[in-house]
Amino acid sequence: MEIKKIEKPKKALYRQRAHCNPLSDALFAYPTSPDHVNWAEHYPAHFPNSGVPADHLVVNTSEHPVSYPDEPVPDELNGASSPRPQILDIGCGFGGLLMHLSQLFPDELSLGMEIRGQVSNYVGERIRASRLIETSTCNNASVIRTNSMKYLVNYIRKEQCSKLFFCFADPHFKRSNKRRRIINDSLMSVYSYVLQPGGMIYFITDVKDLYDWMEGCCNRASALFERVSEEELSNDPVIPAMKTGTEEGMKVQRNGQPVWYAAYRKRLDLQ
């Protein structure tokens, strides 16, 4: 019997331009609602009776397509007690932070959301290779190609998530393009909707103008979120992962550039 050698994907083969317009009308497959997502396809180890093989890969790209059913997924695959992703890395890039998060929080499912097709393929192949090479690795991580600015609530239920990450997001420098920024005033209520009470938004960037913008959006949403103190963040294990866990973060560190980061907590007293 021939044993197939498992190799991790080479990042150089999946390069794609860094900038993408999230407000364009690019077509994505997306579910009608979170009830129409079969999470067993993304986390087969957590659904041992689903029949989904360990090497199954759906990313929502032409290479690894996903189809969403017209009818809701059965409760045994997506019911109230079924596991669902609680940690989202929005704009996950090449998946460095996503891999860190899967290790930092082994009892929670982490999901990367990425709009670029080739980059999403790389992350998916990276996760699958890690699962097959080291069977206990990355079983709680997955990735989906989607436009989270448009379709986040098609995947995620109300108060499903404990953490949202926005790391080294596209700054969209032009004044006319600032509405494309992934954290903006109109999306703060959406992020509050998917977060549990006490859930966290984290962001980091090496662009001070973008940091000021994101900070301003969160501060203006003070009815929904409160800022987490520097003292609390100094003991938070995700902060070092945010700084060095991504490709962009490692590049910034090599170049000795400063970074700015913050975290905001969804208020517990929301009705």
Question: 160 pLDDT exceeds 80?
Answer: yes
Q: Which of 132, 125, 111, 161 is nearest to 13 (CA)?
A: 125
- Average pLDDT value for residue range 232-259: 92
- Average pLDDT value for residue range 1-24: 60
Pair of tokens at residue 109: 């499912």
**Residue partners of 38: CB distance under 8 A and separation at least 6:** 69, 73, 77, 78
Sign for the CA dihedral angle at 109, 138, 123, 48 comes to negative
Q: Are residues 65 and 27 in contact, defined by beta-carbon separation less than 8 angstroms? A: no
Pair of tokens at residue 218: 């969160």
Side chain identity, residue 62: S
Task: Note the pLDDT tens digit of each residue in 66-119.
Answer: 999 999 999 989 888 899 999 999 999 999 999 999 999 999 999 999 999 999
| 3-class DSSP assignment, residue 228 | coil
Q: Of 21-25, 229-233, 235-239, which range is least confident?
A: 21-25
H-helix or E-strand spanning residue 44:
none
Catalytic residues: 170
Which domains occur in the chain, in start order?
Answer: 31-266 (3.40.50.150)
> Regarding predicted confidence, which is higher, 51 or 4?
51
Strand segments, DSSP code E, in the chain are 85-90, 109-114, 141-145, 161-167, 195-205, 225-227, 260-266
Task: Note the pLDDT tens digit of each residue in 33-73.
Answer: 999 999 999 999 999 999 999 899 999 999 999 999 999 99
**Residue partners of 45: CB distance under 8 A and separation at least 6:** 54, 131, 139, 140
Question: 186 pLDDT exceeds 50?
Answer: yes
